Amino acid sequence: MPVITLDGHRLEVPAGKTIIEAAYENGLQIPHFCWHPALSVAGNCRMCLVEVGLPRRRPDGSLELDAEGQPLIAFLPKLQIACATPVADGMVVNTKSERAVQAQQAVMEFLLINHPLDCPICDEAGQCKLQEYAFRYSRRVSRFQEEKVHKPKRIIWGPGVIFDAERCILCSRCIRFANEIAKQPVLTFVERNDRVTIELYPGTEFDSPYSMNVIELCPVGALTSRDFRFQARVWEMSFTDSICPGCARGCNIRIGVHHNEILRLEPRRNLHVNQYWMCDEGRLTQYGFVNHNRVNGPQLRRTATGQLEPTTWEEAYEAVAAALRRYKPTEIAIIGSGRLTNEDAYAVVKFARTVLRTPHLDFPRRDDPYFGDDFLRCRDRNPNTVGVLEIGLKPAAGGLSLAELPEQVRYGSVRCLYIVEEDPAALSPELQQALEDAEMVIVHASNYSSTTAHAHIVLATTTYAELEGTYTNIQRRVQLLRPAVATKERPRFQGMAMSRWDKFGAWNDRWAHGPQRDCRQTWQHLREIARRLGTTWKWSRSEEVFQELAHEIPSFAGMTYELLEAYGGIVLGKGRSPDPVPPLRYESHVLKP
């Protein structure tokens, strides 16, 4: 393997890599704008200019040495771009030499000549590459006295993206993304020199299902999200690493929370799963339900009024336990969900097998052939089908499947439906009829739905953003979710991501907290109900449920939350020998609050 020296660090780099790849694979940085590890190399921003030297050789190929026996280095007369120069054995690269620094300062000055002073109103500010480099690599003063070139602002590119031509630094990342990843080549440079800008081909729109990834990809604030625009400054949000529940892919995401409401989701790097991207559908649809229409606290349907009315947890659990005691095991059917975390699914299965002893246990599949594609989106819209099946959430011997259930409810052989985080009434008219026919309907629900409309008891349950747990994606990779939104039970304590306002806001601030719902995770409900039915489960945290699960179910053996976090998820069965994390640890944006 070639050995190079980068700013005095000796690196062993596989042949064929570029200098910038060598740097990022070894935890070093080289300033750059247009290079991105997932895109082709354009080499047009010139920010990555570095000084490159090669050892001097005699005609016979041997190295020329200086007085101390070190090889003599001949530096190339011109600086080279690190993003397009492949490494060679013995190469010496300087990114901090005088010539390199001068080049960086010159490029920054050039970029800033026509860049507007928009930072205070720019959504990118706080995580902008240009801002950051202006501090690190520019002279910090402008010598430009003339009027800046003005270009159009607020150009709509498509349903998700707005373009501001003044802020664009013409790195072409968005064009390459459209061509290479979104496979929708509709963008192009037009005009020349300081008038250059980007336009859509006439009559086209940038509406690919992945279009909004260019928002994070753009190193500056030229591309903004029509969904998010101006809702908060980045430093006002708390960002938590989690997993998108939109389909079986389980894209790694970051949840941006402000005043305890989710304002945006953005993709997070996981080279095994989603690389650097997520789909627009996930980004736009997977947070609204966390903020709106929530069940807050346990609800009981009073016979007098026929309405769901708030009650205490104590009373609600007693009511559930009393209702379950009334029926024979085979008269109770549990409808689980592919949206349950592994922990909750484990609790449901254990509850069905050991507490209720009912064989009727199933969950609805969510198959959407129009959603699937050959990139990230999967036709299975449940985030945890694989995990739920692995754990055994399926009809036991003699148990009814979901399809057979409505008939048996009609005949009265199943009289009580126990529904966990699912909305069967919205799935088919037969199931809706079954809900109407059933004598007793108990629901764990995070949101009001057509199912809660039929429920006799509703236990307020967390959404994916409020719990700690794991999903198993379509590649059988178990991935970790962390709580991003505080609940009444789990306030924003240390260890949960906290913005300045979350950290220092007082209890009497109007804004510091936002609505905190009184809801619990499914395994917590089941633990309480099981205790009232005579079985004690000693779980106090999701992690303990996961420990038990990893102990009981062989394919999860060896997994812990720490390992899941460290390896970016672990494939089922590989708990003891996880796939290594790819060496390239690249973040396009780093928030510096």
Q: Which residues bind other proteins (CB under 8 A)?
A: 120-121, 153-154, 229-233, 235-236, 500-501, 504-505, 508-511
Contact partner, 236, from ligand FES, other proteins, ligand SF4, none, Cβ < 5-8 Å per class: other proteins
Residues 324, 362: contact at Cβ < 8 Å? Answer: no
8: left (phi over 0), alpha (psi -120 to 50) or beta: left
Q: Choose between 74 and 121: whose C-beta lies nearer to other proteins.
A: 121
Residues 147, 199: contact at Cβ < 8 Å? Answer: no
Contact partner, 47, from other proteins, ligand FES, ligand SF4, none, Cβ < 5-8 Å per class: ligand FES
Report H helices in 30-181: 98-113, 129-137, 173-176
Type of residue at 468: E
The residues with which 12 forms a beta bridge, in sequence order, are 3
Q: Choose between 31 and 256: whose C-beta lies nearer to ligand FES.
A: 31
Contact partner, 124, from ligand SF4, other proteins, ligand FES, none, Cβ < 5-8 Å per class: ligand SF4
Contact partner, 501, from ligand SF4, other proteins, ligand FES, none, Cβ < 5-8 Å per class: other proteins
Contact partner, 46, from other proteins, ligand SF4, ligand FES, none, Cβ < 5-8 Å per class: ligand FES
Contact partner, 35, from ligand SF4, ligand FES, other proteins, none, Cβ < 5-8 Å per class: ligand FES
Quickly count: other Cβ atoms within 10 Å of residue 470's Cβ: 29
Shortest CA distance to 320 belongs to which of 179, 444, 426, 184?
Answer: 444
Q: Choose between 144 and 504: whose C-beta lies nearer to other proteins.
A: 504
Q: Choose between 177 and 546: whose C-beta lies nearer to ligand SF4.
A: 177
Structural tokens at position 322: 């009393």
Binding site for ligand FES (CB under 6 A): 32-35, 43-48, 81, 83
d(CA 468, CA 480): 8
Q: What is the DSSP letter of 178?
A: I
CA angle 347, 353, 354 (to 5 degrees): 85
**How many positions of this chain bind ligand SF4 (CB under 6 A)?**
25
Q: Choose between 75 and 235: whose C-beta lies nearer to other proteins.
A: 235
* Residue 119 engages ligand SF4 in binding (rule: CB under 6 A): yes
d(CA 343, CA 559): 13
Element (H, E) at 267: strand 261-267
- What's the first-to-final CA gap in the chain, in angstroms? 40
d(CA 461, CA 467): 10
* Residue 30 engages ligand SF4 in binding (rule: CB under 6 A): no
* Residue 168 engages ligand SF4 in binding (rule: CB under 6 A): yes
216-235 residues near ligand SF4, rule: CB under 6 A: 217-223
* Residue 122 engages ligand SF4 in binding (rule: CB under 6 A): yes
* Residue 473 engages ligand SF4 in binding (rule: CB under 6 A): no
Q: Choose between 228 and 561: whose C-beta lies nearer to other proteins.
A: 228
Contact partner, 64, from ligand SF4, other proteins, ligand FES, none, Cβ < 5-8 Å per class: none
Structural tokens at position 399: 């148990």
